[in-house]
Structure 1
């Protein structure tokens, strides 16, 4: 007799597993939506452009922290995005050892093209929830995040 595999329902009893599955599906859906819209970017590249569009120019280390990448991975992503003309690196005004990363005009245009993709994915993810449930979910997730952040 072989050992029984845990069922999906049993796996989903773990909030960590469930959150991981939701994140994986959001990434998959976002990449599919980007491809369908003619934007040839991966999810991580989308996050980088989104961060720059929302927060403005920043150092590579600030950007890496904000999208949770290590320095090497960030450098590779920046090289690819800069090679496509979507962002540029300029010397930092106060720290001559650092660089400031900012979107180019093409990067801003691409961001505007990606925003409806993001909206469609998030709307689809929440379609089974009414407005009150969406607000409750947001509240629950914010409280879980806060609890995890204050633990450390």
Structure 2
């Protein structure tokens, strides 16, 4: 990462640029952790597995919204993850026209492996912050997110 823009005395990056740079570094670090485990998985696929592990089965539309992918990109990711045996499309219990996406046993086992990668990357990202600062950062980012989502 080019850190010249965040050195003392240099002009401050805009919030948008800074958030984008942080996200790019998290993605890079997660993909490096995943590659170190010898896994062929991209960050978006990691996010899909994470959402399914954390929230349980859901429709492709709900999942696309949860990981912020468009429908076409979601279909491609789901096809790849299904071919690898990490998830399956199952009939919806109440709506026979709809499908629910769920992790397979292999997908759940993979997620268990990936949680340590996720934990290491997020810990490294916050290593210069004490407990109070971590809590404040989280609270501030939640407020920013709520403000951006608030349409009123």
Say whether the fold is shared (TM-score over 0.5).
Answer: yes
Quick check: 1:39–1:114 contact (8 Å CA) kept in 2? no
* Cα offset, 1:33, TM superposition: 0.7
Structure 1 residues 11 and 82, CA, compared in 2 at 3 Å: closer, same or farther?
farther
* Cα offset, 1:11, TM superposition: 7.0
Structure 2 residue 19 is the aligned partner of structure 1 residue 8: no
How far apart in 1 are the matches of 2:105 and 2:50? 14
1:64-83 to 2 correspondences below 5 Å = 64-83=64-83
Aligned to 1:51: 51
Residues 59-110 of structure 1 deviation map (CA, whole Å, 9 limit, x = unaligned): 1111111111111111000000000000001111222221111000000010
How far apart in 2 are the matches of 1:88 and 1:150? 34
Q: Bigger radius of gyration, 1 or 2?
A: 1
How far apart in 2 are the matches of 1:120 and 1:12? 28
How far apart in 2 are the matches of 1:151 and 1:141? 17
1:76-91 to 2 correspondences below 5 Å = 76-91=76-91
Q: Which has the higher contact order (CA 8 A, sep 6+)?
A: 1
Structure 1 residues 12 and 37, CA, compared in 2 at 3 Å: closer, same or farther?
farther
User: How many pairs are equivalent?
Assistant: 146
* Cα offset, 1:8, TM superposition: 2.9
- Over aligned residues, Cα RMSD in angstroms? 1.5
Three-state SS of the structure 2 residue aligned to 1:100 is strand
Aligned to 2:24: 24
Aligned to 1:40: 40
* Cα offset, 1:12, TM superposition: 4.2
Aligned to 1:108: 108
TM-score of the aligned structures, taking structure 2 as reference length:
0.91
Residues 31-65 of structure 1 deviation map (CA, whole Å, 9 limit, x = unaligned): 00111122221000000001111111111111111
- List gaps (5 residues or longer) in structure 2: none
TM-score of the aligned structures, taking structure 1 as reference length:
0.91
How far apart in 2 are the matches of 1:20 and 1:88? 32
Quick check: 1:11–1:17 contact (8 Å CA) kept in 2? no
